[in-house]
C-alpha cells in the first residue's frame, strides 16, 4: 500500500510540474508577428509630400505694414480668395473674373489664363498675384500659390486685403 501511495504522490507531482510548464505562455511568436506587422506598415505607408513656402519675416517699421500696389500689367493673372473661400481668377484677355468654387476648377482656369494666346505655358502672362481675404482659410491660399508654381509662373506675389479694400 505504501508503494501505491508513493506512486500516486509521484504522479501528482509530475502532473503539477507539467501543468506549471503548460501554464506559461510563450511570447516569442507574438513579438515576431508584431515586428512583421510593423515592418509591413512602414514599407507600405504612403508619405505625402509637403510643400513649403518661404515667407520672409515681418519687419516692425511702418513702411512694411502697408504697401500700395500699382495697377496690374498686361502680363498679370490674379487669383482672389474671398471670405467664403471661393476663387476668382482674372486674366488680361478676359473681361470679367471667373469663379471657381474648388481648387481643381481654379487650377483649370489658371492653366487657361497662363496659356493666353500661345499653347501650353506659351505666350501668356508670367506673373501671378494671389489676393487673399483676411477671413480666407490658409489651405485655399496655399493651394492658389501651389497652382501658380504648377503652371510655371515666373513671379508669384501674395497680397492680403480686407472687405472694403478692393
Q: What are the pLDDT digits (tens) for 125-164?
A: 888 899 998 888 888 888 999 888 888 888 888 888 887 6
Helices assigned H by DSSP within 84-154: 103-115, 138-150
Taking 60 as the threshold, does the pLDDT of residue 23 lie above it? yes
Taking 80 as the threshold, does the pLDDT of residue 5 lie above it? no
pLDDT in tens, 109-132: 888 888 876 555 556 788 889 999
Residue 155's H or E segment, with its range, is: strand 155-161
pLDDT confidence of residue 18: 60
- Identify which of 56, 76, 54, 52 has the alpha carbon closest to the alpha carbon of residue 64: 56
Taking 90 as the threshold, does the pLDDT of residue 34 lie above it? yes
Question: 87-90 and 98-100: which strand pairing?
Answer: antiparallel
Taking 70 as the threshold, does the pLDDT of residue 58 lie above it? no
* The dihedral sign for the CA sequence 84, 89, 90, 96: negative
pLDDT confidence of residue 66: 54
pLDDT in tens, 65-117: 555 555 555 678 899 998 888 999 988 888 888 898 888 998 988 888 888 76
Interatomic CA distance for residues 140 and 89, integer angstroms = 13
The CA-based dihedral angle spanning residues 107, 111, 114, 119, taken in that order and rounded to the nearest 10 degrees? 170
User: What is the average pLDDT score of the chain?
Assistant: 77
pLDDT confidence of residue 53: 61
User: What's the gap between Cα 166 and its chain centre?
Assistant: 30
Q: What average pLDDT score do residues 17-33 get?
A: 75
User: How would residue 32 be classed by pLDDT, with cut points 50, 70 and 90?
Assistant: very high
pLDDT confidence of residue 35: 94
pLDDT confidence of residue 136: 87
Do residues 91 and 108 make contact, with C-beta atoms less than 8 angstroms apart? no
Amino acid at each position: 500500500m505504501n508503494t501505491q501511495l508513493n506512486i500516486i504522490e509521484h504522479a501528482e507531482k509530475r502532473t503539477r510540474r507539467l501543468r506549471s510548464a503548460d501554464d506559461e505562455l510563450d511570447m516569442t511568436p507574438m513579438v515576431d508577428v508584431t515586428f512583421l506587422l510593423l515592418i509591413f506598415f512602414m514599407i507600405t505607408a504612403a508619405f505625402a509630400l509637403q510643400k513649403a513656402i518661404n515667407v520672409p519675416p515681418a519687419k516692425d517699421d511702418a513702411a512694411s505694414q502697408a504697401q500700395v500696389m500699382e495697377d496690374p500689367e498686361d502680363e498679370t493673372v490674379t487669383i482672389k480668395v474671398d471670405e467664403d473661400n471661393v476663387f476668382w481668377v482674372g486674366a488680361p484677355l478676359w473681361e470679367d473674373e471667373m469663379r471657381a468654387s474648388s481648387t481643381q476648377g481654379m487650377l483649370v482656369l489658371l492653366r487657361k489664363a497662363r496659356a493666353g494666346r500661345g499653347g501650353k505655358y506659351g505666350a501668356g502672362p508670367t506673373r501671378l498675384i494671389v489676393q487673399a481675404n483676411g477671413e480666407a482659410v490658409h489651405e485655399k491660399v496655399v493651394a492658389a500659390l501651389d497652382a501658380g508654381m504648377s503652371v510655371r509662373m515666373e513671379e508669384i506675389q501674395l497680397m492680403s486685403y480686407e472687405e472694403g479694400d478692393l
